[in-house]
Structure 1
Amino acid sequence: MNTDGWLEDTRTSYDTVATSYADLTRHILDETPEERALLALFADLVRAQGGGPVADVGCGPGRITAHLRQLGVDAFGIDLSPGMIEVARRDYPGLRFDLGSMTDLDLPDASITGLVAWYSLIHIPDDEIRSVLAHFQRVIRPGGPLLISFHIGDEARLKTEGYGGHPMKVHVHRRQHAQLITWLNDAGFAVESHQTLTSAESRLGGMILARRQATDVPGDGGQPADLLSGD
């Protein structure tokens, strides 16, 4: 599959559909109680780490960022599409939204407590995933949570139209839990839970909750710390 130019195609596609995408998805969390429960658990884990900033990477029009703020999390959004950022700032004027790419995440090392990638890895080609997860691992503090959602499957397809009938050119990559868990482990994350569900968000969706492993902990021979304690 030829994915040359995929980043620019993704940016242009979401610029084109930004307004209609926001209108179609603004209240979709109202119909997805299991996803709301996972976001609430993520918020609890952030608080257990002492709070701090959380990045919603691939935030789109900002609905997950805003939901996390309602849960008491100091969340901000990052997205590749200027059109999406413009809509997010319009709809949630009190929140922070930055233009940026998960392929070159412009955040300092260990500067955030947690990170959410809510159906935003679906356009990343397989050969770019490890680099993206390395950025996630770099910017999350040791022990901090990572929540990823994705479409389950074994293939990629080219999406040429969507969200109100507007033209798009994006590859949608569907993946299995086992593959993503392997990538996460290799990137320095410890996977704590994963599940499959069907909802308004995805006809077959996957959720993975992981922690950025703590390394070189004094007194334990350099083994990872207990990532379940939250202390």
Structure 2
Amino acid sequence: MVAGMTWLADTRTSYDTVAVQYSDQVRNSPTENPYVRSTLALFADLVSGGPVADVGCGPGHVTAHLRKLGLDAFGIDLSPGMVDVARREYPDTRFAIGSMTDLPLADASLGGLITWWSLIHVPAEELPGVFAHFRRVLRPGGTLLVGFHEGDRINRKTQGYGGLPMNVHVHLHPVARMRTWLTAAGFAVESETVLTPADKAPAAIVFAR
């Protein structure tokens, strides 16, 4: 169990530390993997209009890709270091510092929201509140895309990108549990996909409205 809200401070500090190295590693990932590329294209097709928030945007690579697909996308991240990198890499895109536990967006202000492997450090007991925020800021019929590690365990990560120190817990969840949380928050789950690469943990992708 991650005590109190110290996980937020640990996550912020850890990603401030590795921001540049992480950006170097993931910069081209939206186009390199065909499953990721097709998923993001489908998301762009499903969003019926309005701004799109990339919550937990990291160095902004997915946000920028979504803009290339025609979406009015902007990014929010907990880590000031990640936001600084994103602003340097993609100066024509809007990025802001913020937490998904207290999302700084108006009610029903979004046509779409994506959280692309940015829930993985959130303790399970905090996720219902996070999904309630997502539901609050999405317009009726708005599209939600969630990407996460599939499984049923918690790993501690003490070393990260470039061998730099980190102190975060990585939470893996079964798809059925994620569906339960989303349904309880008022979402209708429309699609669930699990990718099983040979060299990595299974990756789950869920679309909901």
The residue type paired with residue 108 of structure 1 is A
Offset of residue 30 of structure 1: 2.9
TM-score by length of 1: 0.87
Q: Which runs of 4+ in 1 moved over 6 A?
A: none
Aligned to 1:124: 122
Pair 1:69-2:70 in alignment: no
Please state how far the C-alpha of 1:204 moved relative to its aligned partner: 1.0
Amino acid at match of 1:42: F
Q: Percent identity?
A: 62
Query: Counterparts of 2:164 and 2:148 in 1: how far apart (Å)?
Result: 23
- 1:34 alignment partner AA: Y
C-alpha deviation, 1:198, in angstroms: 3.3
One-letter amino acid of the counterpart of residue 46, structure 2? L
Segments of structure 2 that go 5 or more residues without pairing to the other structure are: none
SS at match of 1:179: helix
2:205 maps to what in 1? 207
Q: Which residue of the partner structure matches residue 142 of structure 2?
A: 144
Distance 2:205 2:53 in 1: 17
Q: What is the identity, as a one-letter code, of the residue corresponding to 1:126?
A: A
SS in 2 for 1:164: helix
Q: What residue in structure 2 maps to residue 93 of structure 1?
A: 91
Greater helix content: 2
Partner residue of 2:22?
21
- 2:2 maps to a residue whose letter is N
Counterpart of 2:22, as a letter, is Y
Match in the other structure for 1:214: none
Q: CA deviation at 1:199?
A: 4.9
Q: Which residue in 1 is equivalent to 2:31?
A: 30
Uncovered stretches (5+) of structure 1, i.e. residues with no partner: 212-231
TM-score (normalizing by structure 2): 0.97
Amino acid in structure 2 at the alignment position of 1:2: V
Q: 1:200 to 1:92 in 2, by over 3 A?
A: farther
The worse-fitting range, judged by mean Cα deviation, of 2-11 and 54-63 is 2-11
